[in-house]
Amino acid sequence: MEPDELDISIENHVSTDAVRGLATHDSDSWRLLFETPDHVVEVTGTERIFVDGEQVRPPR
């Protein structure tokens, strides 16, 4: 799904500066966990994305 197709705006739930900082971090040993009104989202430095504990995007 493209970002503009989402029903929510991620920047209302997590700092986009924090996301940029993590994405450019030297190590992939990080994870970002945040809540939206309906879901808990986790993004990892290994490019995995989980929504409510279910992996929705495996690493590339």
| Whole-number pLDDT of residue 50 | 93
Please give the angle made by the CA atoms of 58, 60 and 14, to the nearest 5 degrees: 65
The model's pTM is 0.74
Residue 48 · residue 59 · CB < 8 Å: yes
What confidence tens digit (pLDDT) does each residue in 10-59 have?
788 888 888 888 888 888 899 989 998 888 999 898 889 899 999 987 77
Domain spans of the chain?
3-57
